[in-house]
Each structure stands twice: as C-alpha cells, then as structure tokens.
Structure 1
Amino acid sequence: MTAMPPLAPMPVAQARPVKFGALAWTALILGIVGIVGSPIIIFNNLTAVIAGVGFILGVIAFFGTKKTLAAIGVALCVAAIAFTVMAQNAAVKELDKLTGRLTDSGAAQTLNVGDTFHGKDVDITVANPKEFTTGKYAIQPNAKAMSYDVTVVNHSDKPWTAMLLIEATAGNAAAEQVFDSAAGFNGTPSQDVLPGKELAFKVGFVDGTGDITLQLGTIGGDKAYFIHKR
C-alpha cells in the first residue's frame, strides 16, 4: 500500500497584539483619581493635573485596540477637570462672601433705603418708607413723620442681642425719633435673635425738609448709613 502523505499542520490563529492597552488603563485610573480628588480644595489642583495627563494618554490610546476603555478614561478625565473647576469656583465665591463680611465689620457703609447692610454678625435692611401722622398720645403728638421697616437677620453661630443705636437727620437737622405706642413705635427692641433667625420692627422720625439719613450702629462696632432720597 502506498503510504499516505503526512497531513499538513492546521494553521494556528495568531492573537491580535494589544496596542496602547497600558495607556488606556492608565487614563482610566487617572480619571478616577481626578474625580475622587475634585471636591478637595487645593489638593484638587494636583488631581486636575493628573486628570489632564490621563486625558492626553486616553486620546493616544484611542488609536489602539482598547478604544472603549480609552474612551471611558477620557470621559472620566474630562469630568474630573470639570468637577474641579466647579468646586474651586464655589470655594472662591464663599471666600469672597466671607471676606466681604469681614471687611464690612467695624466699617461704616453708606447705602440707600431698601438695601441690606452685611455686618459681622447680622444683616440689616431698612426699607418701605411711609409718611404718617403721629397720634395725640405720642411724645410728639400730631406731627408729620416718616416710618421705616427694619429687618435684622442673625447669620452668626450664636445669639445676638438686638441692641441698635438708630438716629436720623432730615436735611441738615437732627430728626426726633417717634415714640407712639398706639401706632407701634416703641423704640428699638432688645430681644435676643437666635442664629439663622430674624427680627422685624419699625422706627419713625419726625419729618423735615430734604433727604433723610438713618444712622445704625450695633454693639459689635458695625455702622451703616441708609439714605432716603426725596
């Protein structure tokens, strides 16, 4: 019998070499690090740089065989940088707000009636000017006067005693404060205002000619001038 020729060996499928796989994994890991560090102020500067490096590596890896992994890494790096920017912007706004309050403390400000003074412990708003005539039992009976609504908001972390010095001028002359209990003008209150709470009351002054200027001072040393232009 004629011998059969030996069978040719079956070709073995060659595994496709992985290209840029390590870069894709690195981009993914750096993106995760960037997202985890993004809320941490100051430290997120470093993690944002790391995410930026991961973004570049992910873009390079996208031309390799691990395209999906690279795309996920790039997306995570972009998100990490965006979250870092948002966190830092929020921190800057909060710092500006705090700095503004510290700057306001102890310094006099000139505002218009309707504005809000931001002091060290409290925010004070003077608004809603109204003309009225005092009653016959007021200390200044049957006098032409102006009333204003005053709102005090305690933004500190401790109770604040509502001891305010409020004076006024009408034009170039001092204006007398109205005391008319029947109309609700009993002077400035002295109750404690708890943190996060507010106190509202009204004050009145005998009217005169010209613009009215209300001067408010607190026991913390804050001082503000509210101008009512007429």
Structure 2
Amino acid sequence: MTAMPPLAPMPVAQARPVKFGALAWTALILGIVGIVGSPIIIFNNLTAVVAGVGFVLGVIAFFGTKKTLAAVGVALCVAAVVFTALAQNAVVKEIDKLTGSGPAQTLNVGETFHGTDVDITVANPKEFTTGKYSLQPNAKAMSYDVTVVNHSDKPWTSMLVIQATAGNAAAEQVFDSAAGFTGAPTQDVLPGKEIAFKVGFVDSTGDITVQVGAVLGDKAYFIHKR
C-alpha cells in the first residue's frame, strides 16, 4: 500500500494586536467617574478635570482598535462636563435666591436701579482735581452722587461694594476726607429712609462704568458715556 504523504500544517490565524485598548478603557472609566461626581458640589470640579483627561484619551484611543469603547468613553466624558456645569449653575441660582441677589443690570448714569431691598441711583458726574491730602494728590478725577433708598420693611445694612472702570482699565477710587470722599457708608438705613454720599475715581480715557452692589445682594452697572 502506498503511504499517504504527510499533510501540510494548517496556518494558524494570528491574533490582531490591540492598539490603544488601555486608553479606551481608561476613557470609559474616567467618564463614569465624572458622571458620578458631577452632582457633588466642589468635588465635581475635580471630577470634571478627570473627565476632561478622559476625553483626550478617548479621542486618541478612537484611532486604535477599540473604536466603539473609545466613543462611549468620549461621550461619557462630555456628558460629565455638561452635567457638572448644569449642577454648578443650579447651585449659583439657589444661592442668589437665598441671598436675595438677582442678575446684574446695566443702566446709564442718572437712572435708578430697583433692587430687592433698595433703589440705587448714581448721578451728577463732575470733573474735579484731588486735593494735596488725597491718597492720589492733584489727580484728574470724576465724582458721582450715590443715593440709596430702602423700600423694604426692615433696616438695610449698608455694605456696598463700589468699583469702576475707565475705558478698559480699572479706575482707582479717590479717598480724600477733606473733600468728602470717604468711601461707602456702613450705617443701617431704616425702612423708607435714604442715604446719600459721593464717590470719586481717578479719571482716564473712555467711558466710565461704576459698579454698585451689596456684598450679599443686588448689583448694578452705571455707564457714563463720554
């Protein structure tokens, strides 16, 4: 009997090497961490950064062999950042409700801002030169009359923050007690009463914007166009 020739060995299929697989899994895990941490205020700042790193890794992994896994990781990371932003905005709005503050308003100098507890008017812009005893002696400046009327049913603590910009630069506030520029008063304003004072700022080119707001309350911007 003629012997059968030996069979040739069957070729063994080579396993396709996995490329960027670890990055795809990492993006997926970081996206999940970002989603879980998004509702947790303060901590979600960290998890949002983690999700951002996961997004970058997922984009890189998308050019590997685990495209579906990488795409899911990228989507989770994007969702984590979006959820974090929504959660933080909701907290800011809730704080505004608790403190009585609302969105800032922009008005022209001479107009009145009607806030939650008080009405604030910034008017009568006047040019002047600071005195020699001012913190900014002999400087060209602008002054404004500020009037605060308490229309609430309780005393209002005058804790105003007043700042200004001239053009595109911050304007330095004038402090000159001899000329009556001593900053915002701190005494309480009784219901139905008002308090008036003046503020001054070292002048520069461009329009002046005077920002007036309570520490825990409303805020308004008064534009002095020139």
**TM-score range with shorter-chain normalisation?**
0.5 to 0.7
**What is aligned with 1:114?**
110
- Larger C-alpha radius of gyration, 1 or 2? 1
Distance in 1 separating the partners of 2:101 and 2:140? 35
Gaps of at least 5 residues in structure 1 are 1-103
Percent identity, please: 85
- Aligned match of 1:222: 218
> Aligned Cα RMSD in Å?
1.1
1:169 correspondence with 2:186: no
Which residue of structure 2 aligns with residue 153 of structure 1?
A: 149
Structure 1, residues 120-150: CA drift from partner, whole Å, max 9, x if none? 0000000000000000000000000000000
Q: Deviations over 1:142-169 (max 9, x none)?
A: 0000000000000000000111000000
* Mapping of residues 122-201 of structure 1, within 5 Å: 122-201=118-197
Q: Which consecutive unaligned segments of at least 5 residues does structure 2 have? A: 1-99
Structure 1 counterpart of 2:14: none
- What is the deviation of 1:197? 0.1
Cα offset for 1:219?
Answer: 3.0
Structure-2-length-normalised TM-score: 0.55
Does structure 2 retain, via aligned residues, the 8 Å contact 1:106–1:220?
no
Runs of 4+ in 1 over 3 A off after TM superposition: none
Alignment check: 8 A CA contact 1:109 1:225 kept = yes
Match of 1:29 in 2: none
- One-letter code aligned to 1:133: T
C-alpha distance in 2 between matches for 1:115 and 1:190: 23
Shift of residue 216, structure 1, vs aligned partner? 1.1
For residues 48-94 of structure 1, what are the alpha-carbon distances to aligned partners after superposition, in whole Å with 9 as ceiling and x for unaligned? xxxxxxxxxxxxxxxxxxxxxxxxxxxxxxxxxxxxxxxxxxxxxxx
Match of 1:129, SS state, is strand
Within the candidate set 201, 207, 213, 2:209 is matched to 213
Query: Tell me, what secondary structure is at the counterpart of 1:188?
Result: coil
CA distance in 2: counterparts of 1:114 and 1:154, whole angstroms: 18
The answer for the alignment partner of 1:202 in structure 2 is 198
TM-aligned CA deviation for residue 105 of structure 1: 4.4
How far does residue 221 in structure 1 lie from its aligned partner after superposition?
A: 2.2
Tell me how far 1:192 sits from its aligned partner: 0.3
Asked whether the 8 Å contact 1:120–1:220 carries over to 2, the reply is: no
